[in-house]
């Protein structure tokens, strides 16, 4: 028996290990999958209806919201389709992590922005490894010959 496409898509998004988060035009979280629960530590019940500030470090919020508001107003983002972005994020326990993500814009029938979905992956381990390697290379270069 073939899979029902709607059931397939619903299950795929809900259960994938990457975080899938959708926020409406005001920045309120409207979708939060199991991957988001695993990565960020908040249950869907805790996240749904909350502001994206839930996962945005305080020092980055002003810049985030300025860009978000501009994207909602103009319908365009400085990030192209398929661009992989990397930013710091927050877990429920206050731990700062690094996430890599792509975004998908959602528009109504008239083309007006309704919100944005992001598919995110925790890349903290790789980020920390790369930073350590860069520091090691810098230290080696700084050593007198």
Mind giving me the DSSP string for 82-116? T--EEEEEE-TTS-EEEEEEEEEEEE-TTS-EEEE
90: tokens are 């927050």
Structural domains present in the chain: 5-142 (3.30.450.20)
pLDDT score, position 98: 95
Q: Among all chains, which residue has been given the structure tokens 């050593």?
A: 143
pLDDT score, position 55: 98
Which sign does the torsion angle of CA 38, 52, 45, 42 carry?
A: positive
How many Å apart are CA 14 and CA 38, to the nearest integer? 12
With beta carbons less than 8 A apart as the criterion, state whether 98 and 104 touch: no
pLDDT score, position 75: 87
**Which residues neighbour 145 within 8 Å (Cβ) at sequence distance 6 or greater?**
none
DSSP 8-state class, residue 80: P
75: tokens are 């319908």
- pLDDT tens for the 145 residues of the chain, in order: 678 899 998 889 889 999 999 999 999 999 999 999 999 999 999 999 999 999 999 999 999 999 999 999 998 887 767 778 889 999 999 999 999 999 999 999 999 999 999 999 999 977 677 777 787 787 778 887 6
114: tokens are 């309704």
With beta carbons less than 8 A apart as the criterion, state whether 25 and 114 touch: yes
pLDDT score, position 18: 96
Beta-strand runs (E) in the chain: 19-24, 29-32, 85-90, 96-107, 113-122
């Amino acid at each position: 028996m073939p899979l029902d496409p709607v059931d397939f898509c619903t299950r795929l998004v809900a259960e994938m290990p990457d975080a899938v988060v959708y926020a409406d035009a005001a920045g309120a979280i409207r979708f939060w999958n199991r991957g988001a629960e695993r990565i960020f530590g908040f249950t869907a019940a805790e996240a749904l209806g909350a502001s994206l500030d839930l996962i945005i470090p305080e020092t980055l919020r002003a810049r985030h919201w300025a860009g978000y508001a501009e994207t909602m107003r103009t319908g365009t983002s400085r990030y192209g389709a398929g661009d992989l972005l990397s930013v710091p994020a927050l877990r429920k326990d206050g731990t700062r992590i690094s996430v890599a993500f792509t975004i998908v814009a959602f528009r109504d029938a008239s083309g007006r922005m309704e919100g944005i979905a992001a598919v995110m992956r925790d890349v903290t381990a790789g980020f920390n490894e790369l930073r350590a390697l860069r520091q090691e290379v810098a230290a080696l270069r700084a050593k007198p010959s």
